[in-house]
Amino acid sequence: MLALELILEFACCCCGHDVGVTLKCEGKGLATGMDLPAKVKVPCPTCHENNVIYFTPRGALLRVAAETPRVEIPEPSFN
């Protein structure tokens, strides 16, 4: 079975700290040679929030997103 090891580095979506992760990709999808996108949840070691990493098996980091989008509560108006 074909297996790849990827090392990806990114900034956390929530706190902005640098995060590095080593991923092991394996399965029959790699043997076909197709470079289909995959995703994995990676917790930040600093703030412990989950980041969703979208990547290809060739090591291209496509997108990093917060698991739960941040909702900003607007400040009330005083008029």
Q: Does residue 41 fall inside a structural domain?
A: yes
Number of domains, the chain: 1
Q: At residue 57, does pLDDT exceed 70? A: yes
Distance CA 70, CA 79 (A): 27
Mean pLDDT over residues 40-67, rounded?
Answer: 90
Q: Does residue 76 fall inside a structural domain?
A: no
Mean pLDDT over residues 37-65, rounded?
Answer: 91
Domain that holds residue 49: 3-66
Q: Does residue 29 fall inside a structural domain?
A: yes
Whole-prediction pTM value? 0.73
Residues sharing a CB contact under 8 Å with residue 78, sequence separation 6 or more, in sequence order: none
Q: What is the pLDDT of residues 3-35, one digit of tens each?
A: 889 999 999 988 999 999 999 988 777 777 677
Q: Does residue 78 fall inside a structural domain?
A: no
